[in-house]
A and B are shown apart, each in its own frame.
Chain A
Amino acid sequence: MRNTPIRNLERRDKIAKRIRKTFGVFKISLATAIALFFAILFLTPIVLTISNSFMAQSEISANYGSVFATNENGGKVFISEKVNLKFIPDIVSFSQYITVLFKSPEYLLKFWNSVILVGPIVVFQLLVASLASYGFARYRGKIREIIFFSYIILMLMPYQVTLVPNYLVSNWLNILDTNKASWLPGIFSPFAVFLLTKFMRRIPESVIEAAQIDGAGEWQIYRKICMPLCKGAICSAAILVFIDYWNMVEQPLILLSDAEKHPLSVFLSKINAGEIGLAFAVATIYMIPSLLIFLYGEEYLVDGITYQGGIKG
C-alpha cells in the first residue's frame, strides 16, 4: 500500500517520457519537412539556372519558346505552347559556354568589368578599414565616438541617399563615367570599419599593454598583434563587402553612363530574348566566384553576419 504513490509516480514518469519521445519524433519530422520545403524553394532558382546553362539552344527554345521567343530575327525559334521546366537537360551540351567563352568576347569583357570594379573596392576598403578600426578600438574618446556613430548612420543609409552626394563629388572631381567614380566611394564606405571595430574592441587590453611594455609602437601593435588576431574578422568583412558589390546595380547605372563599362550584373538584364540560352550560361559564370567563396568561407560569412547583430559595439 505504501508503494502506490511511488508506483504511480513511476507510471506517470513513464507516460511522460513516452509522450515526450513521440512528441520529439513528431517535432523533428515536422521541422525536417519545413526545412526540406524551404530548401527546395531556395535552391530551385540556382539549380535551374545552372542546369539550363548546359542545354543546347534548341532545347532551350523548345522549353521556353513561349516565354522568350521573338521572331523578329527570323531565327529557328520553336514555339511550344507552355513552359517546360526541366532540371536535367536531355543532352548535356557545352555549346552555350563555348559561345560565351570563345565566340562572343563581349560577355567575358563584361565579366572582367565586374572584376575590375569590385576587386579594388574589396581590397582597399579593407585596408582603409583595418587602419581606422584600430584607431577606433585603441581609444574611445568623445570625438571618436561621434565619428563612429556617424559611420554607423552612414552605413545604414540606403543608396538613394548616398548616391546623390557620390554623383556630385564625381562630377566635381571629373571622374564621372570612369571606374574611379564607383571605386572611391566604395573604398571609403564605412561598413568594414564598423565590423572590424566591433571585433577589435574585443581584443583584451592586456595583450596590447603587454606589447607596449615590450616597447612596441602603435604601428607594430597594429601590424604584429591586431592584424593576426583579426584574420577571421577580415575574411568575414571581405566576403560581406564582396557580395554587396558583386551584386551592385545602382551605382554603375548612375555613375557609368557608358554601357561598355557596365558590369555583368547590369548587362545580364539586357541580354535580348533570343539569347536566353546564353544568358543562363553567363548567369552561371557570374555566380561562380560567389559560390566558390561561399563554399570555402561559409563560417566566415556566418560570423560576419552575427557580428552585425546589435549595431552598437
Chain B
Amino acid sequence: MLSKQSEGREKSGRNEKRTVKVRKNSKRLWKQKISSGAFIAPSFLGVMVFFIIPFLVVIFYSMVDNPISKNFVMFDNFKNIIANKAFMRAVKNTATFSAISVPLAVVLSLLLAIVLEAKLPFRSQFRTFFLSPLMVPVASVVLVWQVLFHFNGAVNDMLGKFGIDKIDWMKSKYALYVVVILFLWKNLGYNMILFMAALGSIPKDILEVARLESANPLQTFFHIKIRYLSSSLLFVTIMSLISSFKIFREVYLLTGDYPVNEIYTIQHFMNNKFKSLDYQMLSAAAILMSLVMIVIIGILFIAEDRFGKDVEG
C-alpha cells in the first residue's frame, strides 16, 4: 500500500513518506532512549546518594545555626567564616600558592612540550622521564624532599658553597617555595602531554607555508602555534589552578598536621573543623569553595566555546 502510493506521487509524496518513517523511528527511538537510559541508572543513583543529595544538605547546613536546632540564620555562617582569621589565612595562602605555581606550571610544561617536539635523540625516553613523577605517589618521594630541604640538608649545603646563609626551608616563609617545587615536579608531565597533543594537531601544511615564506621560528611560534594552542593553554591553566587547590596533600606529607603559617591550607582548616564536628563552618567553607570553582569552571566553558571556534572554524 505504502509503496504503491509513493510510486504514484514520487515527488509530492516524499514528505508523507518521511513522516511515516519518523513516526516509526520515534517509537523505536523512545524504546532506545529508555533502554539505554537504564545503563546510566546505577551511576546516577550513586552520584545522587553520595554527592548531590548530601550537597543539598550541606547547603542547608550552611544556613542554619547548628544541625540539631536548625534555626535559619541565613548568611551568618558565611560572615563568621570570612571573619575567621585562620580561614582567611588559608585562603590567602592558597591564592598565593596558585599565583606562583600556576604560571610556572603552564610555562615550564609548554617549554617541555616544545623541547620534545624537536627531533631530539632519545625523544621517547625523555617523555617517559618527564611523565614518571605523575605515576610516583607523592608519599614515596617526600623523604627526598625532607633530605634536600632540611636545615642541615643538601640544598643548604650546596648554597653554603656559594656563601649563602643556611635557610630553614620548612619552618619559614620559604616553605611555600618548597611546596611549589614539589607541585611542579608532580604536575608538569600531565600538562606537557596536553600541550604535546595540541602541538601535534597543528596542520602541517600551515607550518610548511610559514617555512616557505621564511618565517623565523619565533614568528611561527607566536603567530601560528599560539593561536592553535590557545584553547589548550586555557585548559591547562584552569586544570593547574584546580590542582593547585588540592595542594594540602603535599603539605601534609611534608610537614604533618602543623605546618608553618605560610603553608596552612584550606584543607587544614577543614580538617580541624572535622575534628570538632563544626558542621556549619565546614558547610559554609565547602559552599564558598564550590562557588569559586563554579566561576572558574564557567570561565573554562565560555572560553572553550570561543577559542574552540576560533581554530576549528
Tell me if A49 is interfacial: C-beta within 8 Å of chain B. yes
Partner of A249, one of B33, B55, B249: B249
Q: Contacts of B55 on A, CB cut-off 8 Å?
A: 165
- A136 B40 Cβ-Cβ under 8 A: yes
A188-B128 CB under 8 A given contacts A83-B147, A160-B266, A164-B283: no
Stretch in B13-21, B70-78, B116-124, B202-210 with 4+ CB within 8 Å of A: B116-124
Asked whether, in the complex, the Cβ of B129 is within 8 Å of the Cβ of A43, the reply is: yes
Contact, CB under 8 Å: A31 / B120? yes
Quick check: A138 and B185 within 8 Å, CB to CB?
no
Among A137-176, those with CB < 8 Å from B are: 138-139, 141, 144, 147, 150-154, 156-169
Q: Is B231 part of the binding interface, using a Cβ–Cβ cutoff of 8 Å?
A: yes
Q: Say yes or no: A156-B253 contact (C-beta < 8 A), given A161-B289, A254-B274.
A: no
On whether A166 and B54 interact (CB within 8 A), knowing A42-B130, A312-B304, the answer reads yes
Q: Given the known inter-chain contacts A144-B40, A188-B47, please indicate yes or no for A41 contacting B147, CB distance below 8 A.
A: no
Stretch at the interface among B2-10, B99-107, B131-139, B171-179: B131-139
A94 at the interface (CB under 8 A from B): no
Q: Which of B120, B140, B254 contacts A283 (CB 8 A)?
A: B140
**B155 nearest CB across to chain A (Å):** 9
Asked whether any CB of chain B lies closer than 8 Å to the CB of A106, the reply is no
Q: Which among B39, B130, B150 has the greatest number of chain A C-beta atoms within 10 A?
A: B39
Q: Is the CB of A161 within 8 A of B54?
A: no
Do A309 and B232 contact each other (CB < 8 Å), given the known contacts A83-B157, A135-B39?
yes
Does A233 sit within 8 A of B, measured CB to CB?
no
Q: Which residues of A contact B40 (CB under 8 A)?
A: 131-132, 135-136, 144, 147
Selected A-B contacts with CB under 8 Å, 12 pairs: A34-B112, A38-B188, A67-B152, A129-B43, A158-B242, A158-B293, A161-B293, A218-B39, A265-B139, A283-B141, A309-B235, A311-B301
The 3 closest A-B pairs by CB, nearest first: A188-B46, A165-B54, A135-B39
